[in-house]
Each structure stands twice: as structure tokens, then as C-alpha cells.
Amino acid sequence: MTDPEARAEKLSRELDSAFRNRADLYRLFLDELTGELGAERAEAIMIHAIEQRGKEVAAAAFAGFGANDARAIGEAFLAVSPDGGRMYPTEVERSDDRIAFKVKRCPLKDAWVEAGAGGEKLAALCRIAGAFDRGLFEATGVRFDNVTWAPGHGSGCCHIALTNRACDQEADDAGRASPN
């Protein structure tokens, strides 16, 4: 296959398939662990392990960033989004000290829905997958806020916001300065 466009399309399909495989592994691990340990313990174990992986990735990917580089961290994250951002399309809001993403499509969530997961099981799988993002971004020191999909959340996926840590300090200082 020498045609660059055909090769790129093939690689894009293979990448999507790899992410779906990851989703299937999460789903199957959750089922097995739930059967052995119960739902709460199974989810906690998976969250811990996946959050640790996020921290490992952050150590390499964001080593040059700090707690007040939220926008730069977010831009670096978007720059390496799989398949040029097509795999995880997002709506992005930017300011000097903050960046927020609304993920409109997630191949993991798509795979879980196709496998029949819904309701609380789908929400648990989304929380588990969101642990990677928590590990990834909290390791940088920025403030990380994330709302993962849950019933009633709509058709999209998670909403992530990164804010400079200095903003927390400014809010704390303003709270102490204001008379009650």
C-alpha cells in the first residue's frame, strides 16, 4: 500500500480498533473483578491502576510544565490527540489561566454502548476511564475538574477543565480579605 491517503485511512481504522479493544478489556476486567470482589471494590481497583498509568504518562509528557501552565498543558494535550483530534472531537474554551474541553465522542464509550453497557455500568466504565485523565493532569499540579458521562448527561462524553493553581490561591486570598 503506497498511497499515503489509503495508508492513513487504514491506520486510522486500526487506531480506532485498538481503542475499542482497550474499552473491551476495561469492560471484561470490570466484570471479572466485580464477580470476585463486588462492584465497589472492582471499580476502586481499576480506578487506582488506571490513574497510576495517567501519572506515568504525565511524567514523560508534561515534565516541563507546572501548576500554573493549565492552558499550555491543555494545548499540548490537544496537539497529540489521536488521529489529529478526530478520535476524540472536542469543543474547547480557552482563557489565559484555564482551558476546558467538552468531549463530543469517545471510542471507549462507543464500544461500551455497542457491547450493551448502559446506565450505571456505562457510568462506572466512564469513571474508570476518566481516572487516566485525573492521573495525567493532577500530576502536573494544575487544578483538574472532570465530569464523566452519567445517565442524563446527554450524548457526549466527559467535560474536563484545567485551571492554573494560582487561581485557587487568588480565590483563597480574596476570601480571607473579604469581611463577613
Q: Please indicate, yes or no, whether the overall pTM of this predicted structure exceeds 0.75.
A: yes
Per-residue pLDDT tens over the stretch 37-54: 999 999 999 999 999 999
Per DSSP, which regions of the chain are E strands?
90-95, 98-103, 143-147, 159-163
Cβ atoms of 166 and 97 closer than 8 Å: yes
Per the structure, the complete domain to which residue 138 belongs is given by: 4-177
**Beta bridge mates, 144:** 162
Domains: count for the chain:
1
| 104: number of Cβ within 10 Å | 13
Cβ atoms of 22 and 107 closer than 8 Å: no
Q: What is the CATH number of the domain that holds 100?
A: 3.30.1380.20
Distances in Å between the Cα of 45 and the Cα atoms of 6, 39, 48, 131, 178 are 41, 10, 5, 11, 43
Average pLDDT rounded to a whole number, residues 16-25: 95
Nearest residue to 113 (alpha-carbon basis) of 75, 157, 66 = 157
Per-residue pLDDT tens over the stretch 3-19: 989 998 999 899 999 99
